[in-house]
Amino acid sequence: MRKFARPALTALVVLLLGMTLVLAGCGGGQTAEEEQAEQEAAEAAAAAATDNPWTNGEDLSGETVNIFGAFVDTDAENFEASMVPFEEQTGIEIEYEGSGDFESLISVRTEGGDPPDIAAFPQPGLMYDLIDRGHIMDVRDMVSEDKLSSNYDQSWRDMAMYGGIEAGVWYRANVKSLVWYPHPEFGDAGYEIPETWDEMIALSDQMVSDGETPWSIAMESSGATGWVATDWMEDIMLRTAPPEAYDQWVAGELPFNSEEVKRAANIMAEIWFNEDYVLGGTNSILTVPFGDGVAPLEQNPPRAWMHRQASFITGFFSEDVELGDDIRYFYLPPIDEEEGRAVLTAGDILSPMTDDPATAAAMRYLSEGLSTRAWVESGTMVSPHNDVDLDWYPNEWSRGYAEILSNADTVRFDASDLMPGQVGTGSFWTGMTNWVSGSDLETVLQNIDESWPESE
């Protein structure tokens, strides 16, 4: 029996010796050079985590910041890619959650005591409600005044102010003040891009005299029918009244039945209610789905020549349409010279809901154009940051959106999204639909005013 036991014991000793050598190589057996290299790497990582403009010298590596928003699918991927430089340089992990039910879930989470560190609001109205309930922090306690004032035009900062606090930083913009047209047919017909509202009306008249139809307008949007008309009204208000009047209108301090609002409606009516201007006549506006509004421009020859709609409308182009080659856009021209160049926009504002150092670091990063770079380079995002390099935009049309935004004298958010729900997406949308259907303007505007909630 011993003849067999002796070889087995020898094999066991060899095995244990081998394991000892392996373990020594993995840890305790490091050479002085290896230990020094490991220490230097750790020191370098700690230095990288503090040597950046976002952490104020603190080592916050290992911390996590939860951001909750409405970015999903490709938008979520682009947002997460834009967070990578921050994560690599600070050691802070950005944990992003996106949901199509964001607007209902953010209130549920907040009231349940589980708010995210940062909320990405697709419109400020819901943010205002959470400010009233004391759930939003003042971004000025986290981001320096120099950074905020240099990276954002004052219009953006004004739109973030509510209840005495600056409630966040703007991150993504949707440019609404655009008119789309068929190219190169536009030039072949001898038409020129208008620089003023009067020139645009003169161009419309020229098209009519040529036997053409100037405008394609479509507003059917199921339960949301009306928003196309409110967008037109808002764009015209910004071109005919000071931004302060627009802000008063949004706040319910300037009535819908005021001369300023009625003037904007009447200017809009000169296009919408002109049967020679609108493809299919005014009645067709109510029945054509808003996403089909650009289709007449795609046909050869075009059935209509101009369509006012936001930059998102490219998602409704036919697959074979080449933006830039087949369809282009121009800036919706000014009306009153003293109001300058105004841009109607929508977008996302990121608001801090906790005030720990990692959240503050993330807010500093989000206030910089670098935080949008990966998304901007995808060609599907317009950044409101002043420090974004226009060369980051991958093509002429996405860069053009940014140039229109940066050249604006006034930028204001979609009014119907800022007003109380029973007004903005309620009586305002409904009233504009009724007006296009034939209701009296005075009555429509009075009904909207009467729907405004009483101040508490």
Question: How many CB atoms within 10 Å of residue 245?
Answer: 18
Q: What average pLDDT score do residues 415-431 get?
A: 93
With cut-offs at 50, 70 and 90, classify the pLDDT of residue 454: confident
Q: Which of 325, 288, 320, 322 is nearest to 307 (CA)?
A: 288
Fold classified for 178-344+414-450: D-Maltodextrin-Binding Protein; domain 2 (3.40.190)
Instruction: Out of 48-57, 214-223, 407-416, 426-435, pick the least confident.
Output: 48-57
Q: Over the chain, what HEC string results?
A: CHHHHHHHHHHHHHHHHHHHHHHHHHCCCCCHHHHHHHHHHHHHHHHHHHCCCCCCCCCCCCCEEEEEECCCHHHHHHHHHHHHHHHHHHCCEEEEEECCCHHHHHHHHHHCCCCCCEEEECCHHHHHHHHHCCCCCCHHHCCCHHHHHHHCCHHHHHHHEECCEECCEEEEEEECCEEEEECCHHHHCCCCCCCCHHHHHHHHHHHHHCCCCCECCCCECHHHCCHHHHHHHHHHHHHHCCHHHHHHHHHCCCCCCCHHHHHHHHHHHHHHCCCCCECCCHHHHCCCEHHHCCHHHHCCCCCCCEEECCHHHHHHCCCCCCECCCEEEEECCCCCHHHCCEEEEEEEEEEECCCCHHHHHHHHHHCCHHHHHHHHHCCCCECCCCCCCHHHCCCHHHHHHHHHHHCCCEEEECHHHHCCHHHHHHHHHHHHHHHHHCCCHHHHHHHHHHCCCCCC
What does the pLDDT read at residue 33?
78
What does the pLDDT read at residue 24?
41
Alpha-carbon distance of 250 to 414, in angstroms, equals 9
Residue-wise pLDDT for 299-312, tens only, equals 999 999 999 999 99
Residue-wise pLDDT for 98-129, tens only, equals 999 998 899 999 999 999 999 999 988 889 88
Residue-wise pLDDT for 346-405, tens only, equals 999 999 999 999 999 999 999 999 999 999 999 999 999 999 999 999 999 999 999 999
Domain residue ranges of the chain, discontinuous segments joined by +: 64-174+346-403, 178-344+414-450
Residue-wise pLDDT for 122-156, tens only, equals 988 889 889 999 999 999 999 999 999 999 999 89
- Share above pLDDT 90 across residues of the chain, in percent, rounded to a whole number: 83
Residue 36 neighbours by CB under 8 Å, 6+ apart:
none
What does the pLDDT read at residue 103?
87
Alpha-carbon distance of 222 to 316, in angstroms, equals 17
What does the pLDDT read at residue 6?
34
Q: Is 72 exposed, middle or buried (0-12, 13-18, 19+ CB in 10 A)?
A: middle
pLDDT at 340 over 80: yes
Architecture per CATH, domain 64-174+346-403, reads as 3-Layer(aba) Sandwich (3.40)
What does the pLDDT read at residue 125?
80
